[in-house]
Amino acid sequence: MKTIWHSTKISLDQLNEMGDDTMAAILGMEFTEIGPDYLKMMMPVDKRTVQPYGLLHGGASAALSETVGSVASGLIIDPEKQICVGMEINANHVRGVKEGYVHAIARPLHIGANSHVWDVRITDDQHRLVCVSRLTVAILNKK
């Protein structure tokens, strides 16, 4: 399968280093796999990512979805000429999680010149669906 990425020379270590000093690092997010047309990331369910009932916070799921999808868009564009920014996100939380990790996979629904739309599925350690999210990313030309 042909890759959708602008460059195939990016490594997981490089992606994870880009997240230093960002919300992704604070929440413990980590990239785990780059496929030809998908990007995977995981996040712990711990005191940083739960709400008062001890369940994974919906905002943490949204942050995970936006991070994996936005970075995926960044891997598609030409970084010398373009930038990408989140434009819209929605998330349906379908299962609570109290411990372990959640795993997100971002796959493109649309890759256009001015926008990308991502389907992000978040599952728990037992591969059960936790959240379904759709992220729209605007592609802007650098000035």
Please identify which of the residues 30, 66, 80, 99 carries the catalytic annotation.
66
What mean pLDDT comes out for the span 46-72? 98
Mean pLDDT for the chain overall: 96
Provide the pLDDT confidence category of residue 41 given band limits of 50, 70 and 90.
Answer: very high
Please classify residue 110 by burial: count the beta carbons closer than 10 Å to its beta carbon, then call 0-12 exposed, 13-18 middle and 19+ buried.
exposed
Q: What is the pLDDT of residues 78-135, one digit of tens each?
A: 999 999 999 999 999 999 999 999 999 999 999 999 999 999 999 999 999 999 999 9
Distance CA 49, CA 58 (A): 9
Q: What is the pLDDT of residues 69-79, one digit of tens each?
A: 999 999 999 99
Q: What is the pLDDT of residues 20-39, one digit of tens each?
A: 999 999 999 999 999 999 99
pLDDT at position 143: 85
Over 90: is that where the pLDDT of 1 sits?
no
More confidently predicted of 103 and 7:
103
pTM of the shown model: 0.96
For the chain, domain boundaries: 12-141
Over 90: is that where the pLDDT of 12 sits?
yes
Chain-centre distance of CA 126, in angstroms?
19
User: According to CATH, what is the number of the domain 12-141?
Assistant: 3.10.129.10
**Structural contact between residues 86 and 70, judged by C-beta atoms closer than 8 angstroms:** yes
* Catalytic annotation present for 66: yes
